[in-house]
């Protein structure tokens, strides 16, 4: 039995590679039983290497080596050794040489979906982070950049499409029914950006003209028969190309840009140079199979991968500790794209929702890490909400602190200095600091410190002096991350963050007040960016004629938890009058959270059902909100966001002390039920008024209307009355799009009524041939609040519609249940924990990356009561006891038990 977290590697131990690889020529012959990979590499000693005599040791995993040749001479047995997944050469090496290896791999047996693997329609690759070593021997690290030439050979009828990065240069037939194709990528790239595909696929082709007049041949490859689901992804690609030209002056640099969709994929998508490989769920969409959020998600992922062409491919990471260099920056870019393409306010609200639901808990749990971790055992565990989402917030703060045009100048300088290189987060921050003239030294703490800082703010109004004083205190207690560094005896320092507070002051009439800080001679605007750098700082506003309500952290200007003692009336005031859409929403969330925290306590002392904790004024505020939907100027999407209460996961973060999932669920359901009862007429009226007659389109206006309509439906459905059921059934029958169907199905799945099973059966029968729709069918059942959800999810594991080998199915059912349905996952009898552990143990050897993602469900286990903790610990120990537990799961479970 293993009892420890697997061996870690450290950022401080980075050394440059002893050799560089300038060219790689791959010849890949695909057969049913295996694939033969012949690789010819041009190597030379790295002049920057620490040891000029170092020997050559190549990475390789699950490769059967047939031969090694040095400058054309086949090496004898003793001239190389294979040990621990490495190939070590034991011969004298010249300054520069050609190394040729021939190996066999078995893609049909590759269930990890890392490296070269089989999926339904053919063969695909996923090389980030360390998958290339599962294809051939290599210095598989991002600071080794080479030019690739690739020749693929396969059966022509079964795999008519042969692709790799760059440009197609030649192809032909050979042997009996076989063919080949040769691709050359003109750009140097790290091995993690390598890709190849041999499959039977349909393709949608369109051209794009860059602003300098070049033609890019765009192509979206999908499984046969799905061409009618590609148009949206293609349009998203062209919009992204245009946006990056306009906003960042960045143009596509290749003649070919291909997107290939595959149904078996561990993550969302991958930015391989010129040949992106995507999870089908991030490509395929038609109105009857995809929801509005799917359409928007596709826009964002297509944009994200496209933006990586510059922030990731042209300038890449020196080592995997720098992952946020490309991911945080690229998420920031796709967020900005989303804000420009859709509603800025709604997009920002949704992005902050994601941050709070996924990243804040990560930062508060055993896997806490800064956006640039100092160590890891398995890099795949660090494709995290922190590296991605918090990473994007850190870039956003630079944008806010130095301003939009200095940010653009910083980007230009970054590319000027580092194009074609593998660099570090410091290099990025330095470019921003140098281009703006702003000192960002202290700002770099965001890269080294973990945890969500708490910003305690207090306001004091002095009517006689017409002065409003705002004081801020930063709190940043050590997290599990620093506790581990300490236990390992490693040095680290912590200090105040440099962060922007964007604010305004709202007067009693709802108008914004002009802002003059003490020492300034006149007021400058009604919104300011205050810069915090100290543990404690005070700002004094002069000429404040009336007691204001401060609107703090507009647009969520820093990823912190704001502690400000707002009175409920002040929050209602901000909800109604703040000029910043995010802050209006935020005020509503804060108000709901304050009320729900009282409700949770009431439920714990048996006084919840009496509803004494719900103020009548709150019901009136929601009534006003609903009424505003009738105003043609209003944005229904924003109203829908405001009506959506903080999730149970987010509420658990707000609770201090022991988390009681039943009380959280009870209070939240009670508040929804009360609002539904009190506002039934308004909800019904809004629901009916928003019925659309125009044909479906995923445009902002329709999306907003459907979002609000389905939010009303959700409130109304909670009651399970005859009327509510009739409404749900009518929507299910009449819906001409997946957004409305699945909204009704999800609401019905919460109810323990006979209609539920009938609806689920009919839905599956209708959609059983659309894998992504079957995922939705699994998903609504996993997220159901009905009492029998735990046992239903358990039996769905054996349903023919489920497949544990397919990551999308596991995510739709198991991850959704474990991470999105806390009340059932944390069932008092431990059944949720046992289910998670069973799945983790089943998947650990087959697909450790997916197993590890499920293992993260245990992150918060220590926040629950002693009985639940003991049940969770039992399952954690059971997982840890597995022989040959993967490094992925081992690291997650090891940290959870630390």
Residue 327 CB, nearest distance to ligand ARG (Å)? Answer: 6
- Binds 267, which of ligand ARG, Zn ion, none (CB < 5 to 8 A, cut-off by type)? ligand ARG
Residue 269 CB, nearest distance to ligand ARG (Å)? Answer: 6
8 Å CB contact between 439 and 402: no
- Binds 270, which of ligand ARG, Zn ion, none (CB < 5 to 8 A, cut-off by type)? ligand ARG
Nearer of residues 59 and 327 to Zn ion, judged by Cβ: 327
Alpha-carbon distance values, 72 to 41, 60, 68, 127, 647 (Å): 12, 21, 9, 28, 63
Residues ≥6 apart with Cβ < 8 Å to 324? 371, 372, 387, 388, 391, 394, 425, 447
Residue 380 CB, nearest distance to ligand ARG (Å)? Answer: 5
Would you tell me how many other CB atoms lie within 10 Å of the CB of residue 656?
6
Would you tell me how many other CB atoms lie within 10 Å of the CB of residue 757?
11
- Binds 128, which of ligand ARG, Zn ion, none (CB < 5 to 8 A, cut-off by type)? ligand ARG
Instruction: Give residues in contact with ligand ARG (CB under 6 A).
Output: 128-129, 266-267, 269-271, 304-305, 327, 380, 383, 849
How far is C-alpha 259 from the geometric centre of its chain's CA atoms? 19
Nearer of residues 327 and 570 to Zn ion, judged by Cβ: 327
Joined together, the tokens standing for residue 786 give 């009905």
Residue 127 CB, nearest distance to ligand ARG (Å)? Answer: 9
How far is C-alpha 181 from the geometric centre of its chain's CA atoms? 35
Query: Measuring CA to CA, which residue among 15, 20, 24, 26 is closest to residue 50?
Result: 15
- Binds 380, which of Zn ion, ligand ARG, none (CB < 5 to 8 A, cut-off by type)? ligand ARG
- Residue 305 known to be catalytic: yes
Nearer of residues 384 and 686 to ligand ARG, judged by Cβ: 384
Residue 265 CB, nearest distance to ligand ARG (Å)? Answer: 9
Nearer of residues 270 and 897 to Zn ion, judged by Cβ: 270
8 Å CB contact between 204 and 230: yes
- Binds 266, which of ligand ARG, Zn ion, none (CB < 5 to 8 A, cut-off by type)? ligand ARG
Residue 329 CB, nearest distance to Zn ion (Å)? Answer: 9
Start-to-end Cα distance in the chain: 16
Nearer of residues 302 and 626 to Zn ion, judged by Cβ: 302
The secondary structure of 233-299 as a DSSP string is HHHHHHHHHHHHHHHH-----SSEEEEEEES--SSSEE--TTEEEEEGGGT---TTT--HHHHHHHH
- Binds 859, which of ligand ARG, Zn ion, none (CB < 5 to 8 A, cut-off by type)? none
Residue 240 CB, nearest distance to ligand ARG (Å)? Answer: 13
Residues ≥6 apart with Cβ < 8 Å to 181? 151, 152, 162, 163, 168, 170, 171
Residue 301 CB, nearest distance to ligand ARG (Å)? Answer: 8
Nearer of residues 279 and 436 to ligand ARG, judged by Cβ: 279
Nearer of residues 179 and 189 to Zn ion, judged by Cβ: 189
- Burial label, 392 (beta-carbon count in 10 A; 0-12, 13-18, 19+): buried
- Binds 891, which of Zn ion, ligand ARG, none (CB < 5 to 8 A, cut-off by type)? none
In the window 296-335, what residues touch Zn ion (CB under 5 A)?
327, 330
Name the one residue in this structure whose structure tokens are 């959700």. Answer: 714
Nearer of residues 185 and 327 to Zn ion, judged by Cβ: 327
Among candidate residues 130, 305, 482, 682, the one labeled active-site is 305
- Binds 383, which of Zn ion, ligand ARG, none (CB < 5 to 8 A, cut-off by type)? ligand ARG
Query: Measuring CA to CA, which residue among 540, 458, 531, 541 is closest to residue 496?
Result: 531
Beta bridge partners of 407: none
* Binding letters toward Zn ion, positions 698-727, x by CB under 5 A: ------------------------------
Residues ≥6 apart with Cβ < 8 Å to 865? 658, 660
Distance CA 52, CA 25 (A): 26
Question: What's the DSSP call for residue 430?
Answer: H
Joined together, the tokens standing for residue 234 give 């293609």
8 Å CB contact between 337 and 161: no
Which residues are tagged catalytic?
305
* Interface residue list for Zn ion (CB under 5 A): 327, 330
């Amino acid at each position: 039995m293993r009892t420890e977290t697997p061996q870690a590697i450290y950022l401080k131990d980075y050394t440059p590679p002893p050799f560089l690889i300038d060219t790689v020529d791959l010849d890949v012959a695909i057969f049913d039983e295996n694939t033969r990979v012949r690789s010819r590499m041009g190597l030379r000693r790295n002049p920057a290497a620490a040891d000029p005599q170092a020997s050559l040791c190549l990475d390789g995993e699950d490769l059967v080596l047939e031969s090694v040749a040095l400058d054309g001479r086949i090496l004898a047995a003793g001239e190389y050794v294979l040990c621990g997944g490495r190939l070590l050469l034991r011969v004298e090496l010249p300054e520069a040489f050609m190394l040729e290896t021939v190996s066999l791999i078995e893609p049909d047996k590759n269930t990890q979906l890392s490296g070269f693997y089989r999926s339904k329609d053919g063969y695909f690759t996923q090389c980030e982070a360390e998958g290339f070593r599962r294809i051939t021997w290599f210095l598989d690290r991002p600071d080794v950049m080479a030019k690739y030439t690739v020749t693929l050979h396969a059966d022509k009828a079964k795999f008519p499409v042969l692709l790799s990065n760059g440009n197609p240069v030649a192809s032909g037939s050979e042997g009996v029914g076989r063919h080949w194709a040769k691709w050359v990528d003109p750009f140097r790239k790290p091995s993690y950006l390598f890709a190849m595909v041999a499959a039977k696929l349909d393709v949608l082709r369109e051209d794009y003209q860059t602003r300098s007049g070049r033609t890019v041949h765009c192509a979206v490859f999908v499984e046969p028969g799905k061409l009618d689901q590609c148009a949206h992804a293609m349009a998203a690609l062209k919009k992204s190309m245009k946006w990056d030209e306009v906003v960042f002056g960045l143009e596509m640099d290749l003649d070919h840009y291909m997107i290939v969709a595959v149904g078996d994929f561990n993550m969302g998508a991958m930015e391989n140079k010129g040949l992106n490989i995507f999870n089908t769920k991030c490509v395929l969409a038609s109105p009857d199979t995809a929801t509005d959020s799917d359409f928007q998600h596709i826009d964002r992922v297509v944009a994200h991968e496209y933006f990586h062409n510059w922030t990731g491919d042209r300038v890449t990471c020196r080592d995997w500790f720098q992952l946020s260099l490309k991911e945080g920056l690229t998420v920031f870019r796709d967020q900005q794209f989303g804000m420009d393409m859709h509603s800025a306010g709604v997009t920002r609200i949704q992005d902050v929702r994601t941050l709070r639901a996924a990243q804040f808990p990560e930062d508060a749990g055993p896997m806490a890490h800064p956006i640039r971790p100092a160590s890891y055992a398995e890099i795949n565990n660090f494709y995290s909400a922190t590296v991605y989402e918090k990473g994007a917030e850190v870039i956003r703060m630079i944008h806010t602190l130095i301003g939009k045009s200095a940010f653009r100048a910083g980007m230009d300088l970054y590319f000027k200095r580092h194009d074609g290189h593998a660099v570090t987060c410091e290099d990025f921050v330095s470019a921003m600091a140098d281009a703006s003239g702003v000192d960002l030294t202290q700002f770099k703490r965001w890269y080294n410190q973990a945890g969500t800082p708490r910003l305690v703010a207090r306001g004091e109004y002095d009517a006689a002096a017409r002065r409003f004083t705002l004081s801020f205190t930063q709190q940043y207690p050590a997290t599990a991350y620093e506790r581990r560094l300490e236990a390992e005896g490693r040095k680290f320092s912590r200090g105040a963050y440099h962060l922007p507070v964007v604010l305004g002051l709202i007067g009693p009439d709802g108008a914004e007040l002009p802002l003059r800080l003490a020492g300034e001679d006149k007021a400058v605007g009604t919104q300011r960016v205050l810069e915090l750098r100290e543990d404690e700082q005070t700002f004094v506003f002069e000429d404040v004629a009336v007691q204001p309500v401060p609107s703090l952290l507009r647009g969520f200007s820093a990823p912190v938890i704001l502690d400000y003692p707002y009175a409920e009336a002040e929050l209602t005031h901000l909800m109604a009058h703040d000029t910043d859409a995010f802050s209006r929403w935020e005020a509503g969330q804060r108000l709901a959270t304050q009320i729900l925290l009282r409700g949770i306590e009431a439920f714990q002392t048996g006084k919840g059902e009496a509803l004494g904790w719900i103020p009548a004024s709150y019901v009136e505020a929601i009534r006003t909100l609903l009424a505003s939907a009738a105003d043609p100027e209003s944005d229904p999407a924003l109203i829908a966001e405001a009506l959506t209460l903080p999730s149970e996961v987010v509420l658990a973060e707000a609770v201090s002390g022991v988390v009681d999932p039943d009380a959280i669920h009870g209070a939240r359901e009670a508040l929804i039920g009360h609002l539904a009862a009190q506002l039934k007429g308004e909800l019904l009226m809004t629901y009916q008024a928003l019925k659309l007659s125009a044909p479906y389109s995923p445009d902002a206006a329709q999306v907003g209307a459907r979002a609000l309509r389905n939010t009303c439906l959700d409130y109304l459905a909670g009651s399970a009355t005859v009327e509510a059921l009739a409404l749900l059934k009518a929507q299910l029958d009449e819906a001409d799009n997946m957004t409305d169907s699945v909204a009704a199905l999800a609401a019905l799945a919460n109810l323990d009524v006979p209609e539920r099973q009938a609806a689920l059966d009919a839905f599956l029968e209708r959609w059983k041939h659309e894998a992504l729709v079957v995922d939705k069918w699994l998903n609504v059942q996993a997220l159901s609040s009905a009492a029998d959800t735990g046992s239903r999810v358990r039996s769905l594991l054996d349903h023919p519609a489920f497949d544990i080998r397919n990551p999308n199915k596991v995510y739709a059912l198991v991850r959704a249940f474990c991470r999105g349905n806390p009340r059932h996952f944390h069932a008092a009898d431990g059944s949720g924990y046992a289910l998670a552990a069973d799945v983790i143990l089943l998947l650990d050897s087959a697909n450790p990356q997916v197993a590890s993602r499920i293992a993260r469900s245990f992150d918060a286990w220590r926040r629950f009561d002693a009985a639940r903790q003991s049940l969770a610990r039992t399952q954690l120990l059971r997982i840890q006891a597995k022989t040959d537990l993967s490094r992925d799961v081992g690291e997650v479970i090891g940290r959870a038990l630390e």
